[in-house]
Each structure stands twice: as structure tokens, then as C-alpha cells.
Amino acid sequence: NRPIIIDCDPGHDDAIALILACASSDFDIKAVTTSAGNQTPEKTLNNALRILTLLGRTDIPVAGGALKPLCRELIIADNVHGESGLDGPKLPDPGFDAVSEHAVELMARIIRESDQPVTLVPTGPLTNIALLLATHRELTDNIERIVLMGGGAETGNWSPAAEFNIFVDPQAADVVFNSGVPITMCGLDVTHRAQILDEDIDRVRDIGNPISDVVAELLDFFMIYHRDPKWGLEGAPLHDPCTIAWLLKPELFTSKDCWVGIETEGKLTQGMTVVDRYQVSGNPENATVLFDVDREGFVDLLVECLQHYSE
């Protein structure tokens, strides 16, 4: 099994990514760490503990991370994810505590001690991952890859140019994309194609186990924000689960290796991922950028993973 650490800011789609990862025997989930993003750091940490409690995975160590982005003040997405960060379903209170180690130290220790290179899966702002890479350079050789949700070649969603996770902490993203560690970027290009439609939510609800019921309610809530016709979407984009889906079934995705630079200073473009799709900059490729997904195959994978919880 592939050792992974999920660094997330749950968040509806982060929660679904966690649920998918825990359903698969392909992963050895070494830790879940939390970043500030969709909600305050206290709430995202609490939400990770609540989801793992729901899944009965209180064996996975959970650690809270940085309280704010490297240079900027924290921006949260309560307009998308609600007051708790996971509004909608009724979730259990945490049945266990976070470890006392800081997220960055926990990640560092796991990577150092692992006899197999560890894959990092960040689905929130990249603050913790940047701190890890900046403070533990010696560990980069034992990081297999960073499979992240963030950015977009064509568009933004928090500003016209920037996607939320990168917009919140562009300086952190800059450290990560310049780290030399192989990166898979699941940006808006692909996540806006990984849409979940009303009939897919019905399929999830029909599975009828306690976890699929929660996922259906998470999706119902997540759908509200994305129903606004301004997005031009038919359903809700399942951003963060694309990371786990790519690790499980990369054949569902279309990708291209590109150089990606992060705009940290632009007046209108802070947090933009500048994707050199046509190799015009001459800069060496630093990321595998996902552009498209077999949407039906993606939904089938989601359903298969959730059926696992009926067994």
C-alpha cells in the first residue's frame, strides 16, 4: 500500500476525499493534518476528527497545522461550507483527540521514519506543506509526490485569476511548486469537469449505508452554492476527491506535464497558477497538470468506494 498523508481543510469536498481514501485498501493513511482555509484552523481540525470518528478510523493520527497563511491574513470560505465548515449532515462529536505534535512535525517524523517514500495529498491551502519543505529540505527525497487540489490553467474561482486554495496562501504555493518534488495539480480545469449531478446524488443516497447517507447530505449542501447559474455548471464540482481518484485510477484523467509558476505579487492576479501549457517560457516542467476526467468513470469510482462501507 501506498503511504499517504492527507493535509486538508474540511470542507465538504475534503471530507469526501477523506471518505474515499479510507474506503480503499490501496492506501496506508499515515496521518491527517489540517490547514486553515475553508474555516478557521480550530474548526477544520475538529471537522477532520469528526469525519474520522464517523468512519471509525480513530487509529489515524490527526494534527493541526499553521493557524494562518505565511504572509497574508486568513480568508475563509464560510459562504461555501457554512458556519461549521461542514454544514448539512449531522456528524458525531470527535471521539478522539488530535496528537500534541504540530502538523509539520508529525509529517516530518512520518516521512523520516518511512521505509517507502510518502505521498502528500494537500486539499487545502499549502501553508503546512510549504513549512515542511522549507524547514526539512533533507526529507524531500523521501516524498514520492505531492498530489494537490489547487489552481487552474484557464480560470479562477475566488478571483478571476485565482482558485481559493492558492489565493489563500500564494507564498506557500510558490514554495511548493519550486520545491523540486514531483507535483500533480488537480486544478479547476479538471475539477469543474468532475461534476456531481442530482441523479448521481440519488445514486449515492440509494447505497443506503450510514456513510453514503452522510455523503449525500454533504453533496446536497455543497450543491447549494454551485447552483448559482453564474458558474455555468450542471452540478457541483467535486474538487478535492479528484486527488484520491487520480491516485486510484489515473487512467480516468487526461494530463500534461507543464511548468507552473505562482503569481505572488500581481495587482489583479495574486494566487494565479501560470500554466505553461505550450512550453513557451522555456522553464522546465514542474507539475503534471490534470485537464480532463471521464466524469462517469469518476462517479462510478465514488459509488464503488461508498459501497465498501456497506460490507
Cell of 15: 471530507
Please tell me whether residue 157 binds Ca ion under the rule CB under 5 A: no
Question: How near is the Cβ of 36 to ligand BDR at its closest, in Å?
Answer: 12
**Shorter beta-carbon distance to ligand BDR: residue 41 or 139:** 41
How far is the CA of 194 from the CAs of 57, 240, 253, in angstroms? 27, 10, 10
Please tell me whether residue 82 binds Ca ion under the rule CB under 5 A: no
Question: How near is the Cβ of 25 to ligand BDR at its closest, in Å?
Answer: 25
Say whether 239 is catalytic.
yes
157 binds, among Ca ion, ligand BDR, none (CB under 5 to 8 A by kind): ligand BDR
Question: How near is the Cβ of 195 to ligand BDR at its closest, in Å?
Answer: 13
**Shorter beta-carbon distance to Ca ion: residue 13 or 105:** 13
Q: How far apart are CA 117 and CA 114, in angstroms?
A: 7
Please tell me whether residue 157 binds ligand BDR under the rule CB under 6 A: yes
Do residues 218 and 89 make contact, with C-beta atoms less than 8 angstroms apart? yes
Among 33, 128, 164, 301, which residue sits at the site for ligand BDR (rule: CB under 6 A)?
164
Please tell me whether residue 124 binds Ca ion under the rule CB under 5 A: yes
Please tell me whether residue 189 binds ligand BDR under the rule CB under 6 A: no
Among 48-56, 124-132, 174-182, 201-209, the segment contacting Ca ion (CB under 5 A): 124-132
Q: How far apart are CA 91 and CA 94, in angstroms?
A: 9
List the catalytic residue out of 12, 81, 192, 239.
239
Question: Which residue, judged by CB position, is nearest to ligand BDR in the bound state?
Answer: 164
Please tell me whether residue 14 binds ligand BDR under the rule CB under 6 A: yes
273-276/287-293 β-pairing: unpaired
Please tell me whether residue 273 binds ligand BDR under the rule CB under 6 A: no
**Shorter beta-carbon distance to ligand BDR: residue 4 or 108:** 4
195-196/236-237 β-pairing: antiparallel
Cell of 257: 506535464
Please tell me whether residue 7 binds ligand BDR under the rule CB under 6 A: no
By annotation, the residues acting in catalysis are: 239
Binding site residues, ligand BDR, CB under 6 A:
11, 13-14, 38, 77, 80, 123-124, 149, 157, 163-165, 239-240
